[in-house]
Amino acid sequence: RERVDVGGGKFKSEKKLEPRPEAVTALPAAAQAYYGGRNECFLVGIHDGPWIDLDISSAYPSAMALIPDPDFTVPPRVLAAGELRPSDVPMPVSYLFGYVEFAFPELVMFPCLPCKDALGRGLIFPKRGKTWASAPELYLALRMGARVTLLQPAKSLLRATPSVCARPTNHLWACVKKPNARSAKSPRRTWC
């Protein structure tokens, strides 16, 4: 509990949330590696026909809710600084956050590792650079042929049971896939 001054010589007691001791070292790296969603179009010019851009509200947090909760009762696996291999990131839904240097092959058109623009204009996705990244980006980058090097040791936490949010989120996405009841021909999807 924390004592908070509410003015006029009065104080109130507020409950302050503290991270689990086992999670304290992972939180700063996780915060650095969190960038939010990505939405863009890779085609330019005149197009004859409908454009469908699915910009779903809260899609990123919903997807994150599907990741199983970490198991803090098991010691994390520590990855030494050095080049990452695909076997170091066997699944995209693992708890791994690290500061990396990367280089994608020249043939890769759309790199997947985000970097903050130096002028503060948002995220850019260069073919080479340094950035904080999490398991989903690292998993994909390695499978796209990128050379990825951890610049400092990183901890990979093991997963435990499915997230408490997984069941309702899975249900919502199953509902999205059902055809709209108003028109069987409609390409649009609807919530249950």
Residue range 42-90, pLDDT digits in tens:
777 888 888 777 767 777 777 777 777 788 788 888 899 999 999 999 8
Backbone φ and ψ of 169, nearest 5°: -65, -45
| 62 domain-assigned | no
| 107 domain-assigned | yes
| 177 domain-assigned | no
* pTM score, whole prediction: 0.69
Q: 183: pLDDT confidence band, cut at 50, 70 and 90? A: very low
The sign one gets for the Cα dihedral 77, 25, 159, 32 is negative
Q: What is the count of structural domains for the chain?
A: 1
- Average pLDDT over the chain reads 80
* Token pair 């076997």: residue: 87
Q: State which residues form the domain around 137.
A: 20-33+69-161
| 93 domain-assigned | yes
| 130 domain-assigned | yes
| 109 domain-assigned | yes
Q: 8, 64, 14, 11: which is closest to 36 by C-alpha?
A: 64
**CA pair distance 190, 133, nearest whole angstrom:** 33
Average the pLDDT over 126-149 and give the result: 96
